[in-house]
Amino acid sequence: MRSKLSNQFLRNFLMIFLLTILDTVLAFVLLSFASGLIAGSLAKNRYPASAIVRDDYNEIDATAVVENGGGVQVVDRDYRVVYSRGLDTIGKDRLTVEEFTALLTESKDKPYHYDILYHPEGGFWLIVTFPTSIRLDFALVYNKAAAAGDYARAGGAIALVVLIYLSVLALFAFIYSRITAASITVPLRKLCDGTRLLREGDYSVRVDLRLRNEFAELQNTFNDMAARIEHEISMRKRSEEDRRRLILDISHDLKNPMSSIQGYAELLIRNPGIPEQERDEYLETIQSNSKRANRLLTELFELSQLDSPEFSLKLVKTDICEFLRQLCGELVPLLEREGFRYEFDIPEDSVFVMLDPDRFNRIIQNLASNAMRYNPRGTQATVSLAVQDDQVLIDFSDDGVGIPDELADTIFNPFVRADDSRNSRTGGSGLGLSIAKKIAKAHGGDLVLLSGSSRGSTFRITIPTI
């Protein structure tokens, strides 16, 4: 790719090189043409010496020349300035032979135009002088009468100058083409290298072109794409790990009750003469474990249902304050039975939200169930409601044992428990908080664990008001 682009730029600049040569030739032609156009309008061409010369230099009319900024001088055979009007660049009344010769031969080196005419009959030189505006002294003269050696030397010099000019121009075109090509090929090569690494699985690759042109936009697009792919791959790996862990947790949590059910059932089958009291204890254990397995399967089904695209809430306009008071009233007998103290802080005002009552009830029930399962008797549970920035904030707090810091970030993941022993007395399914959070999100809100509590834990439910 780099070679192709570099060669393409080289071809383009060679074309520019040829066009530059053509443009140079055209410039000389146009300058000659322009010189011809303006020649007749210049003062030096409108008032030449031949137009104003007279046999008697005293009769020369220099008025027009002087009015146009020029001057007229007459030098006789003795090199004396016998007549002078207007601009005088000689500055003397008499010239030496050397000075007059220098005037004739060196006039082109001065910023003046001299038109010198010798009048044989009068025996004087008429000099008409004008300030030079612009002078281009380039001319190509060909004379067959010149010596052959002069032709060769002059032609060689001209050819050498043209060759040097073309070589320098070609060198500049080549260097500039490479520089221009590199400004494109280098960023492209970096982008290609980044794309190759990305294709090979290195999703941490980023490109830094240090440019501020369109390539910078392409760089940002590439880096954003790489970051998004890296995030998606990370999420996919995490999801796969969560799935494997979920399967292991399900297997583990189902294995214990099912093994217990199977063991006690086989014991009852093999020993039909077991005393009635002992048999009833075995049957109660079978029933308890079957309920535990059934509860786990029910919650798994509910969690799967919440993740389904077909899942939807049955929302109705609800006074959340009145509804929460009813829920708290239902919790009172359960809290008292577990030996919990309680406090409710719910405003008397009406605050309306769009709510699925049955689903939202599940959030409160799960939070209360967790608080009573993991905290000792005498713990105080507090439920409060506030409205802030068009959001209803419901805090469910307790002053119990709290949640370990290492679980704060994962407490809402399936099968994460504050008590990781998974025993049947204190350990729940580990799905309650995950289900509650999904229900809160489905309502357009959220369920979070507030940090900074010195004792116990505080869960906050947010729901938008209407």
Q: Which of 242, 276, 305 is the last residue of a domain?
A: 305
Q: Does 166 share its domain with 33?
A: yes
pLDDT, position 385: 95
User: Residue 73 is part of a domain; what is its CATH number?
Assistant: 3.30.450
Per-residue pLDDT at 49: 94
Q: Please check whether residues 298 and 178 belong to one and the same domain.
A: no
pLDDT at residue 137 in the model: 57
CATH label of the domain that carries residue 339:
3.30.565.10
Same domain (yes/no): 342, 407: yes
Q: Are residues 232 and 362 in the same domain?
A: no
Q: Are residue 341 and residue 455 in the same domain, yes or no? A: yes
Supply the pLDDT for residue 424. 46
| Residue 438 shares a structural domain with residue 356 | yes
Mind listing the pLDDT tens digit of every residue in the chain (466 residues)? 555 666 777 777 778 888 888 888 888 887 777 777 776 778 888 899 999 999 999 999 999 999 999 999 999 999 999 999 999 999 899 999 999 998 888 877 788 999 999 999 999 999 999 998 766 555 566 667 666 777 688 778 888 888 888 888 888 878 887 787 787 888 888 888 888 888 888 888 888 888 777 888 888 888 898 888 888 888 888 878 777 776 776 777 778 788 888 888 988 888 888 888 888 888 988 888 888 888 778 777 877 777 777 778 889 999 999 999 999 999 999 999 999 999 999 999 899 999 999 889 989 998 998 899 889 999 999 999 999 989 999 999 999 888 887 787 788 887 776 655 444 444 556 788 888 999 999 999 999 998 866 688 999 999 999 8
Identify whether residues 239 and 374 lie together within a single domain.
no
Same domain assignment for residues 157 and 181: yes
- The per-residue pLDDT for 425 is 47
In a domain? residue 194: no
- Please check whether residue 432 lies inside any domain of the structure: yes
- Do 82 and 106 lie in one domain? The reply is yes
Decide which of 238, 272, 305 is a domain's last residue.
305
pLDDT at position 131, please?
Answer: 92
pLDDT at 138: 55
Domain total of the chain: 4
Q: Do the domain assignments include residue 242? A: yes
- Domain's final residue, options 64, 98, 131: 131
Based on the domain organization, do 336 and 389 belong to the same domain?
Answer: yes
Range of the domain at 356: 312-464
The 3-state secondary structure of the chain reads CHHHHHHHHHHHHHHHHHHHHHHHHHHHHHHHHHHHHHHCCCHHHHCCHHHHCCCCHHHCCCHHHHHCCCEEEEEECCCEEEEEEECCCCCCCECCHHHHHHHHHCHHHCCEEEEEEEECCCCEEEEEEEECCCCCCCCCCCCCCCCHHHHHHHHHHHHHHHHHHHHHHHHHHHHHHHHHHHHHHHHHHHHHHHHHHHHCCCCCCCCCCCCCCHHHHHHHHHHHHHHHHHHHHHHHHHHHHHHHHHHHHHHHHHHHHHHHHHHHHHHHHHCCCCCHHHHHHHHHHHHHHHHHHHHHHHHHHHHHHHHCCCCCCCCEEEEHHHHHHHHHHHHHHHHHHCCCEEEEECCCCCCEEEECHHHHHHHHHHHHHHHHHHCCCCCEEEEEEEEECCEEEEEEEECCCCCCHHHCCCCCCCCCCCCCCCCCCCCCCCCHHHHHHHHHHHCCCEEEEECCCCCCEEEEEEEEEC
Q: Indicate whether 200 belongs to any domain.
A: no
Examine the domain organization and report whether 449 and 339 are in the same domain.
yes
Count of residues for the chain? 466
Quick one: 232 and 259 in the same domain? Answer: yes
Would you say 300 and 250 are in contact if contact means Cβ atoms under 8 Å apart?
yes
Whether 201 is in a domain gets the answer no
For residue 340, is it within any domain? Answer: yes
Flag whether 267 is in a domain: yes
Task: Give domain status of residue 199, yes or no.
Answer: no
